[in-house]
Amino acid sequence: MMKNPTGPVFEYLAEHNGLIQTARKIGLPLGGTFFVGGQETEETIQTVRELNKDGRAVTVDCLGEFIETEQDAIGIADECIKVIYCIAEEKLNAQVSLKLTSVGLRLNPQIAEKQMTRILETAELFDMRVTVNMEEEAVCETIIQVFERLHGRFSNVGIALQANLYRTRFDLERLQSTVRVVKGAYTGPADIYIERKETVDATYLQLVKQNLLQGCYTQVATHDEDMIREVVRFVHQHSIGSEQFEFQMLQGMRPKRQQELVKEGFRVVIYVPHGVDWYTYLMKRLAERPANIGFTMMSMLRL
């Protein structure tokens, strides 16, 4: 797989402390609001309201990139709980998602599990789903182990799995749960990560179909038109109801297609990033894949 020559540049910008602090002070600049719900809760809730107007649901992704202490982890969990209460108060069509590292996984998995328990207990009050995002392979097994313990206690928790990891097909069988299937943004050793795009695409569809046939709720997270059409064909062929799956797309990516899918009768959920770490989120998305730069420019130009 060809490496992204601009990746190191955006990785550097993503972790530049001076730029991070400046971004937090000035708030979202030109273009930022296309791809990020808001830095403050009310900004993000307004984004959710706008998306809900034409039938698009939302998963508010509570960002937390720099967790150095347990208090930092508690702060991100507090913010996520605040978002849950705001969604419930206005009866908005939304759910939440977050990384376990944002609530302390690297400090101690028990810290992350404790904070996730607080979040899930709150979400359970309102019958709201919470999705655990997947991260790099080095913490994948730990994430899955924490998720399994949480899933044993809460029915409203799901997890993201990445098609570009060889291990994922085994994880899917192991978990038997609500799964958000993504192609995967992380890269690494060739014996761990699938490199060929064609193989990743084929694996992605295999995972989606397998989870659907297992009778598990499936979050089909893709902007790829070929993937979308094949999933639509597959669910019609197997008489799989729309209550068993949803399409997910990033905020700002293919908004017209999002609206078309809603009109076609599908549940469409928009991934809306939220929080003070919006700047690092944007830079990391640009660092991951060269195509994201093109997507960004086209979306900002409303193409």
Determine, yes or no, domain membership for 211.
yes
- pLDDT score for 37: 87
Q: Where are the alpha helices (DSSP H) in the chain?
A: 7-14, 17-26, 32-35, 41-53, 70-90, 109-125, 140-151, 168-175, 197-213, 225-237, 255-263, 278-288, 290-300
pLDDT digits (tens, 9 = 90+) for 136-168: 999 999 999 999 999 999 999 999 999 999 999
Determine, yes or no, domain membership for 48.
yes
Q: What is the mean pLDDT of residues 36-49?
A: 92
User: Three-state SS for 269?
Assistant: strand
Number of domains in the chain: 1
- What CATH number does residue 93 fall under? 3.20.20.220
Determine, yes or no, domain membership for 261.
yes
Q: Residue 185: which pLDDT band, with cuts at 50, 70 and 90?
A: confident
Q: What are phi and psi of 86, to 5 degrees?
A: -65, -40
Distance, first Cα to last Cα, the chain = 28
pLDDT digits (tens, 9 = 90+) for 228-268: 999 999 999 999 999 999 999 999 889 999 999 999 999 99
Question: Is residue 219 within a helix (H) or strand (E), and if so which, with residue range?
Answer: strand 218-221
Whether 3 has a pLDDT exceeding 90, the answer reads: no
Q: Residue 10: which pLDDT band, with cuts at 50, 70 and 90?
A: very low
- pLDDT score for 65: 78
Determine, yes or no, domain membership for 106.
yes
Compute the distance between CA of residue 165 and CA of residue 168 in angstroms, rounded to an integer. Answer: 6
Determine, yes or no, domain membership for 1.
no
Determine, yes or no, domain membership for 2.
no
Task: Give the domain extent around 88.
Answer: 7-300
Determine, yes or no, domain membership for 194.
yes
Whether 284 has a pLDDT exceeding 80, the answer reads: no
Q: What is the mean pLDDT of residues 288-293?
A: 52
Determine, yes or no, domain membership for 126.
yes
Summary mean pLDDT of the chain: 87
Task: Name residue 61's beta-bridge partners.
Answer: 97, 273
- pLDDT score for 32: 46
Q: Are 190 and 200 in contact (CB under 8 A)?
A: no
